[in-house]
Amino acid sequence: MAAQGVTKRIEDYSRWYTDVVKMADLADYAAVRGCMIIKPYGYELWENIKSGLDKRFKATGHRNAYFPLLIPMSFIEKEAKHVEGFAPELAIVTHAGGKELDEPLAIRPTSETVIGHAYARWIHSYRDLPVLINQWANVVRWEMRPRLFLRTSEFLWQEGHTAHATEEEAEEETIRMLDIYADFAVKDAAIPVIKGEKSGQEKFAGASRSFTIEAMMGNTWALQSGTSHYLGQNFARAFDIKFLDEENKLKYCYTTSWGVSTRMVGGIVMAHGDDKGLRLPPRLAPIQVVIVPIWRTVDQQGVVMKAIDDIRGALVDAGVRVHVDKREGITPGFKFNDWEMRGVPMRMEIGPRDVEHGTAILARRDMQGKDAKQSVSQDGIAQRVLELLTDIQNHMLAQATEFRDAHLHRANSYDELKEIVTDGWALIPHCGASECEEKIKEETKSSSRCYPIAENKDWDPREKTCPICGKPAVGLAYFARSY
């Protein structure tokens, strides 16, 4: 049963997504087409995503910094593939202070160039390496087909940029950050992801190799949820990032870049949401437990609120993010539906009878029907809540994993691929040619997602051919419709 005013997923998944984002109060449209306003509830979700990632970055030696929003166009143009890849999306400032600028400035689409320019001034010796920097920032990429959180002209993200003395160190960093993204997606967002390498056609503009975590949404479409790029010496040569090694020889650095954006918010909505709205994993939910008081008389109100104050204090002391819904003139049923729409993992109901019996009713958002509710003692309730939140987190991951695995299939022919991608992901031996990828995209609306690392670990190319063109395959690749 869909929540009132929310389109059912099976009827129109795209409209369902927009309904949920707006009705759950995550975001709204801005005055400029393609931009969005992230509302407090949505921003609190993003802050929890930031926190989960930031602590992982710092634990591996990365430090935060900030670089300018405005980038000279000459910087963008220094790396040929980079400018070619980003030219259609650039927003460019030509006038400032009432005058035409001597050189146009690009509003940051990504920061490899401006950071490369800084690194060239900061790095002189092998003793200066590695440089491990991350920044939290906004970027602008002019979007023709905007969708809240998934594709907007301005969005928030983090972008890591590192410089290393050797190719091996830079490659290790690239995979280390990919693993960090996967760890966050699984443990915090409860989203199972597939780690893999992008094809030559899908890699980042200017990268030598690009890696990705790909997540399956509730309609089986893929969402690229985080990327990590090995840049080789491409940007080091473009920006003259050199260092003297231990033998006093001048060498170019090897660099990496990696990022996750606010599209992760959209991914959480689509990976877990249902016809009642959001379902948020407890580790990221802005509110983990909402308490709904129930009473009919003023005397009952005082008794109920006294018990709630005690329980709330115990939950806060236990580190639970809790909110008491004290709104008056609104029925408990309306409040239940409202918090279900917002995806709060657990609802607690307390009325006069519960106070009398020393109990509380707990309702889980990850489940439906009578199994979702249980009566628990108020004694030791904080510990019980913590246990249930952990169980909800694990259950949501298990649900998402079961759904994903049921829609992953091996295709042995082009006809099988065509059938599979209507409702899943197809794994095929792939030649890697752009002609094949374009043919598949044109005829099935699916694209190459990645060469999954796990499935290609023991890849044997002998007698393996691409089912599209019959040429020798270079590896197994997933194809799916995507955002």
Residue 437 has pLDDT above 80, yes or no: yes
Q: Distance from first CA to last CA of the chain, Å, rounded?
A: 26
Residue 144 has pLDDT above 90, yes or no: no
Specify the fold of 13-272: BirA Bifunctional Protein; domain 2 (3.30.930)
Superfamily name with CATH number, domain 408-480: C-terminal domain of ProRS (3.30.110.30)
Confidence of residue 124 (pLDDT cuts 50, 70, 90): very high
Amino acid letter, 429: P
Q: What is the pLDDT of residue 82?
A: 67
Q: What is the 3-state secondary structure (H, E, C) of the chain?
A: CCCCCCCCCCCCHHHHHHHHHHHCCCEEECCCCCCEEECHHHHHHHHHHHHHHHHHHHHCCCEECCCCCEEEHHHHCCCHHHHHHHHHHCCEEEEECCEEEEEEEEECCCCHHHHHHHHHHHCCEHHHCCEEEEEEEEEECCCCCCECCCECCEEEEEEEEEEECCHHHHHHHHHHHHHHHHHHHHHCCCCCEEEEECCCCCCCCCCCEEEEEEEECCCCCEEEEEEEEEEECHHHHHHCCEEECCCCCEEECEEEEEEEECHHHHHHHHHHCECCECCCCCCCCCCCEEEEECCCCHHHHHHHHHHHHHHHHHHHHCCCCEEECCCCCCCHHHHHHHHHHCCCCEEEEECHHHHHHCEEEEEECCCCHHHHEEEEECCCHHHHHHHHHHHHHHHHHHHHHHHHHCCEEECCCHHHHHHHCCCCEEEEEECCCHHHHHHHHHHHCCEEEEEEHHHHCCCCCCCCECCCCCCECCEEEEEECEC
Q: What is the pLDDT of residue 32?
A: 94
How far is Cα 44 from Cα 65, in angstroms, rounded to an integer? 22
Judged by average pLDDT, the poorest of 131-140, 168-177, 242-251, 454-463 is 454-463
Token couple for 392: 């909800």
Amino acid letter, 20: V
**Domain map of the chain by residue range?**
13-272, 289-391, 408-480
Residue 1 has pLDDT above 60, yes or no: no
Q: pTM for this structure?
A: 0.95
pLDDT averaged over every residue in the chain: 95
Mean pLDDT, rounded, for 196-220: 96
Residue 371 C-beta-side C-alpha neighbours within 13 Å: 4
Confidence of residue 227 (pLDDT cuts 50, 70, 90): very high
Given a contact cutoff of 8 angstroms between Cβ atoms, the answer to whether 411 and 426 are in contact is: yes
Q: Tell me: the pLDDT tens digits for 13-28?
A: 999 999 999 999 999 9
| CATH number of the domain located at residue range(s) 289-391 in this protein | 3.40.50.800
Mean pLDDT, rounded, for 407-419: 96
Q: What is the pLDDT of residue 79?
A: 72
Beta-bridged to residue 159, according to DSSP, are 135, 259
Mean pLDDT, rounded, for 270-279: 97
